[in-house]
Amino acid sequence: MSLKIALLPGDGIGPEVTEEAVRILKNVAEHSGRAFSFSSHVIGGAAIDGEGTGLPERTLEAALNADAVLLGAVGHPKFDGRLPSERPEAALLALRQALGGFANLRPAIYYAPLAKRTPFQPERVRGANLLIVRELLGGLYFGEPRGFEASGNTAFNTLIYSRHEIERVAKVACDRARERRKKVASIDKANVLETSRLWRAVVSDDAKAYPDVELEHVYVDTAAMRLATAPASFDVMLCDNLFGDILSDQAASISGSLGVLPSATIGGKVDLYEPVHGSAPDIAGKGLANPIGAIASAAMLLRFSANMDKEAAEIDHAIEEALASGARTKDLAGPGDRVLSTRDMGQAIEEALHEVRDRKHSYHGV
């Protein structure tokens, strides 16, 4: 049966990078025998321009009826003067809410060929390959009550978590760890916060069902320090909404460019895959965008929505190999490096994918 993928390329560099992700998915379909059917729909600024609303009914319906959604990016400066609810970004928030994913997954990988792009000394980050699992629908960002007191001089938010909210995201983290190096670091501030004490207790209980997964509890401040000094010591980091938001950005610096970071939001009606970067209006339409974040998001789609672990791993290897062989978009290029266009980078990764597959076949043949 064919896997229905709803493409929402969006604005700015969104369509450019999505096209390269689709190129790789088509290549995978050709070589794996799995069929993918793609349908493309407007969202964000492009939808406001064409249909008067950032998330048209037809787009939402297509997303809800798909097996997976692959999104580019939304946003354009011409909407900057509008109320937040009328901007393209509101469409993405509404989409995320409608799809209902509660676990946001963001890998952060150290790519040796990009060592010079990171702010770290190579010996500190060598081997770092971690996955942040962030609770996305609860905690401080959604807790009620929230607001300003009448005086305007006092404001308040509520940090609240229920056992159910913690259990379901903890399960995602432990399941992912099982597929990786079998370690979960649960991040909290249990020495100060009651919600963190509940978090710690529930995660400890849930982890008992995963005796093969090693669980440690780490205070968020210690985690921030360890991410900067010994990121390779982490495998899966399980975080609440606030801590995950902050630590995932910090972890992103390990990779060296915003353009290489993928994400997945899973656990709802339909899973959503998108690069971490925005629509980058400063480089849109110039062929300068790095498509790796979008291509790596497509690999996550294969892993989580299509049960195609082998093909996902091959894409990840192809990205590494393309980088190792010197393929660089402008954001990755150093002085004297040849700069590839978005399309050429997509092609370089597609060629590397062929090589990765060929090599595997020849190993098996020996």
Contact assessment for residue 142 and residue 123, using Cβ atoms and an 8 Å cutoff: no
Query: In 225-247, which positions are buried (b, 16+ CB within 10 angstroms) versus exposed (e)?
Result: ebbbeebeebbbbbbbbbbbbeb
Q: Identify residues 306-365 at the interface with ligand NAD (CB under 6 A).
A: 331
Interacting residue with ligand NAD among 25, 28, 74, 266 (CB under 6 A): 74
Contact pick of 282, 309, 337, 358 for ligand NAD (by CB under 6 A) = 282
* The binder of ligand NAD chosen from 185, 283, 296, 308 (CB under 6 A): 283
54-73 residues in contact with ligand NAD (CB under 6 A) are 73
C-beta of 48 vs 289, nearer to ligand NAD: 289
* Cα dihedral value 146, 151, 154, 156, nearest 10: -10
Rule CB under 6 A: say whether 92 interacts with ligand NAD: yes
Sequential DSSP letters for 7-75: EEEESTTHHHHHHHHHHHHHHHHHHH---EEEEE---THHHHHHHSSSS-HHHHHHHHTSSEEEEEE--
Of 15, 107, 138, 293, the one binding ligand NAD by CB under 6 A? 293
Q: Identify the residue whose tokens are 């760890």.
A: 177
Name which of 100 and 281 has its Cβ closer to ligand NAD. 281
Q: Is residue 11 a contact partner of residue 73, using CB atoms and an 8 Å limit?
A: yes
Specify the residue, 231 or 291, whose C-beta has the smaller distance to ligand NAD: 291
Please enumerate in sequence order all residues whose Cβ is within 8 A of that of 205, keeping only pairs 6 or more positions apart, or say none. none
CB 84 to ligand NAD: min, Å: 10
Q: In terms of DSSP bridges, do strands 103-109 and 68-73 run parallel, antiparallel, or are they unpaired?
A: unpaired
Confirm or reject binding of residue 277 to ligand NAD (CB under 6 A). Answer: yes
Taking contact as CB under 6 A, which single stretch among the options 201-209, 230-238, 287-295, 307-315 is the one that binds ligand NAD? Answer: 287-295
DSSP classification of residue 285: T
Query: CB of 316: closest distance to ligand NAD in angstroms?
Result: 17
Cα 361 to Cα 317: distance, rounded to the nearest angstrom: 15
Minimum distance from residue 80 beta carbon to ligand NAD (Å): 7
Q: CA-CA distance, 292 to 268, in Å (whole number)?
A: 25
Catalytic residues: 141, 189, 221, 245, 249
Compare residues 111 and 234 and give the one whose CB is closer to ligand NAD: 111
Whose CA is closest to 302, among 318, 326, 287, 289?
318
Q: Copy the structure tokens of residue 362.
A: 């020849």
> Could you tell me if 268 and 63 are in contact, meaning their C-beta atoms sit under 8 angstroms apart?
no
- Closest separation in Å from C-beta 249 to ligand NAD: 11
Closer residue to ligand NAD in complex, CB, 46/74: 74
Q: Say which residue the tokens 């929505």 belong to.
A: 305
Stretch of 190-198, 289-297, 301-309, 343-351 contacting ligand NAD, by CB under 6 A: 289-297
One of 289, 308, 340, 356 touching ligand NAD (CB under 6 A): 289
- Mask of contacts with ligand NAD, 228-267, x by CB under 6 A? ------------------------------xx--------
Q: Output the CA–CA distances (angstroms, integers) from residue 43 to 10, 75, 83, 156, in the order listed.
A: 5, 10, 17, 33
280 alpha-carbon distance from chain centroid: 17
- Taking the complex as a whole, the smallest distance from the CB of residue 97 to ligand NAD amounts, in Å, to 14
DSSP states along 87-152 = SHHHHHHHHHHHHT--EEEEEEE--GGGGGGSSS-HHHHTT-EEEEEEE-SSGGGT-SS-EE-TTS
Which of 7, 46, 89, 176 touches ligand NAD by CB under 6 A?
A: 89
Nearest CB to ligand NAD, comparing residues 143 and 281: 281
Interface residue with ligand NAD, options 56, 139, 231, 278 (CB under 6 A): 278
15 touches ligand NAD by CB under 6 A: no
Residue ranges that bind ligand NAD, judged by CB under 6 A: 13, 17, 73-75, 89, 92, 258-259, 274, 277-283, 289-290, 293, 331
